[in-house]
């Protein structure tokens, strides 16, 4: 049974915790909050509106309080906190799935170096949902075929999301040729929506992904945690989903069926 911890107990972190509590092959060991948080030393059940479930909320410097450490921590905390906590988790031989967003290039490099130095496994995945990674793959294929088309990226998120544009939109733009324009909308309680538009003179194609509930983040995070539990190195969700291998199989099939 895989032992997990959750760091960052906002809306997505708590929804993920609730999801994990219902997984038969998972043992949720603890939740992590900031040292000054009013959630500190509460029981996770209290935060979820449940009876006490025996899962403590602690700060990262209190790992010694745990009788059993998690094998993997799923991190939805702000990127500054994720960067601060990573070396502490690595020192305790815990692997990470970092779903935090907003890292700059220097911070990502530091996170990568910390994992490599500690010989731990980390999945860096601001684009944690499985479907949005398929969107990225399909967008790359379309961009390669429709190389004369204009490319536009549209992303919608809730009005509390701080990073504009989203990390997923930035990564998607980086993977596509030219300099696609990103249109970002922050409104209401939108969970997450991304669309790539390829527009020619006579037609257009749209590829989109929408997270209907926050369980989409939980499903992706759990898949990543299971995948990275016994690995060392730095990975992304395309490694977790084995998308390169999927694409190779598809292309081989296309070649075989060609007339």
> Rounded distance, CA 17 to CA 31, Å?
8
Whether the CB-CB separation of 175 and 136 falls below 8 Å is answered with yes
Distance CA 187, CA 184 (A): 10
Catalytic site residue 41? no
Reduced to 3 states (helix: H, G, I; strand: E, B; else coil), residue 232 is coil
Helices (H), the chain: 11-21, 44-47, 79-91, 105-118, 130-145, 167-175, 215-228, 237-240, 243-257
Q: In 3-state terms, what secondary structure has residue 61?
A: helix
Instruction: From the candidates 79, 156, 161, 195, give the one annotated as an active-site residue.
Output: 161
User: Residue 73 forms beta bridges with which residues?
Assistant: 5, 96
Place of tokens 């993977």: 175
Residue 255 tokens, joined:
């070649």
Catalytic residue among 79, 156, 157, 195: 157
157 is catalytic: yes
Any idea which residues carry the catalytic annotation?
157, 161
């Amino acid at each position: 049974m895989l032992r997990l911890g959750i760091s960052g107990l906002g809306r997505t972190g708590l929804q993920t915790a609730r999801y994990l509590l219902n997984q038969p092959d998972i043992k949720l060991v603890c939740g992590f909050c900031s040292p000054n948080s009013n959630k500190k030393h509460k029981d996770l059940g209290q935060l979820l509106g449940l009876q006490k479930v025996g899962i403590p909320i602690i700060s990262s410097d209190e790992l010694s309080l745990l009788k059993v450490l998690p094998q993997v921590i799923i991190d939805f905390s702000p990127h500054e906190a994720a960067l601060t906590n990573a070396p502490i988790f690595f020192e305790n031989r815990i692997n990470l799935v970092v779903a935090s967003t907003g890292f700059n290039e220097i911070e990502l490099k530091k996170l990568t170096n910390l994992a490599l130095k500690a010989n731990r496994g980390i999945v860096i995945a601001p684009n944690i949902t499985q479907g949005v990674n398929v969107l990225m793959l399909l967008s790359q294929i379309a961009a390669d075929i429709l190389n004369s088309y204009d490319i536009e990226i549209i992303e919608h998120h809730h009005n509390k999301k701080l990073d504009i544009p989203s990390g997923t939109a930035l990564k998607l733009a980086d993977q596509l040729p030219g300099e696609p324009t990103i249109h970002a909308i922050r409104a209401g309680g939108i969970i997450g929506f991304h669309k790539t538009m390829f527009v020619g003179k006579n037609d257009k194609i749209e590829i989109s992904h929408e997270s209907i509930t926050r369980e989409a983040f939980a499903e992706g995070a759990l898949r990543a945690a299971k995948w990275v539990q016994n690995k060392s190195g730095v990975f992304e969700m395309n490694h977790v989903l084995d998308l390169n291998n999927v694409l190779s199989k598809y292309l081989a099939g296309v070649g075989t069926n060609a007339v």
